[in-house]
Amino acid sequence: MPNHNNTQRNPSVVIIGAGMTGVLLTIKLREAGITDLTILEKTDRLGGTWRENTYPGVACDIPAHMYTYSFEPNPDWSHRFAHGDEIQQYFERVGRKYGVTDSISFNEAVTSSVYKDGKWTVKTSKGRTIVADFVINSTGILHHPAKPEIKGIDSFKGKMFHTAEWDHNVDMHGKKVGIIGTGSTAAQVIPEVAKEAAKMSVFQRTPQWVLPIGNKAITEKEKAKLRKSPVKLQLLREFYNWAISQLLTKAVTGHKVQNWLFSTICKRYMKKAVKDPVLREKLTPNYKVGCKRIVVSNTIIPAMQRDNVNLVTDGIVEINETGIKTADGQQHDLDVLILSTGFNPVAYMRPMELLGKDGLHINEAWENKIQTYRSVCMPGFPNNFLMLGPNSPIGNYSVIEMSEVQTRYIIKLINRWRSNEFDAVEVKHSAVKRFADYMRAGMSKTVWVGGCQSWYLDGDGDPILWPYTFQQWEKEMAEPDMQDFDTVNFPQELVPRKPLKKVSA
């Protein structure tokens, strides 16, 4: 029965970013009765990663039926691993269905976000000033392309671009193409570009372990079955969740049987699939399987053995007007140079100016080490949350699942504010330290400390991932431990109260 004696405040919330997480937050906050939302997006469309990355072969390496919101399954994926344009269409469809798209302020970036006395003052690129009770940074992990610092990089006279800034006006047909990098993105690009290029030179710093799972097409008959049976669709999602969490995630977080299984598969595949022993040696890593993100592909190894593909393992000395010079003295002339050099994974909400309590700047707070509490809360920044912060990427797991767990956690904290328990909530420094110690203890058992360089590591060489299972993370995020937070109630005249809203129990 409705409880008419129960009243709650309706907070004003600014959501920064309208990618997968921003769309999710908008939907779930509204469902919780939080309706005073401002959603700011720096570009002209929602979608985040899948809006930005349009390179040939772009796809998700998480099974498609698992890579959906739990409340919005999709029976119409065309492949086991969804292509980027399909994923973008999915998020756009969800945005329209739940009334998110029309609520987004597009082409409006946040320039500054400043806290004082329980309120955040957010300023935007359009000159707007917004005062809010809460700010949620859903700015994503991989959205600042990392350009390599190589001598002479600005001197190249041909076409050069990063994979996240793909120039679709460049015709690769019959051209001499170079690509720097051999990670997951490059593994998708190389097979596609190699079909068109006269010659393709792949500049490899570190070889990658490859898990040879093909991107199976899903037939119309199979789609029809899933449309007719929501139960079958849910079971398929649960199967993939189980497979990733119990096999692949455990393989990289210290579970010996699972690690042996994937190590055996990857090593045997490399041995059997690469016929040339010299090429095989160049392509075979000398670090543990999973230390860098495993490349899920059955097309990259065949592509590397094409007659028009040349693997270059000598270090790059410089980039000049006509191409790349390597440490062995060779000049590799190129018409097109592709930078598949990844992203800055620890930029998060920056470069916007973020000032917390007592004028604390985010760059000052993170000067020595980027640390948060449970990936979400930052000391010195009350009523401010970071989605998918450090230690939230979980071994090859779906970031959508992670965002849903974090969204529930944040809503529980906001609901305490709504019930007048406090006006400001801030994580304690001691809680951040305990969490960091907990992460450090778990990391020692993972493969990420297996002697390789990857985006998994911060500037100190410490992994920024979650070192335990997804189930453990979900359990620990089920309810905020309020002993880890400081809360403040301000005088009525300092923080004017909005009229209380009656809610149903």
pLDDT band at 467 (very low <50, low <70, confident <90, very high): confident
Tokens of 179: 């690509």
Nearest one of 459, 457, 462 to 438, comparing CA atoms: 462
| In the predicted structure, residue 381 carries a pLDDT above the cut 80 | yes
Segment 331-343 mean pLDDT: 94
| In the predicted structure, residue 501 carries a pLDDT above the cut 80 | no
Q: Please tell me the distance from the alpha carbon of residue 103 to that of residue 38, in angstroms, as a whole number.
A: 8
pLDDT band at 455 (very low <50, low <70, confident <90, very high): low
Nearest one of 445, 380, 193, 418 to 303, comparing CA atoms: 193
Other C-beta atoms lying within 10 Å of the C-beta of residue 133? 23
pLDDT band at 408 (very low <50, low <70, confident <90, very high): very high
State the number of CA atoms in the 13 A half-sphere of 460 facing the CB: 10
Q: What is the pLDDT of residues 28-39, one digit of tens each?
A: 999 999 999 999
Query: pTM score, two decimals?
Result: 0.91
| In the predicted structure, residue 500 carries a pLDDT above the cut 90 | no
pLDDT band at 382 (very low <50, low <70, confident <90, very high): very high
pLDDT band at 499 (very low <50, low <70, confident <90, very high): very low
Domains annotated for the chain, with CATH where assigned, are 7-46+100-141+346-502 (3.50.50.60), 153-339 (3.50.50.60)
Q: Which of 4-18, 115-129, 195-209 is predicted least confidently?
A: 4-18
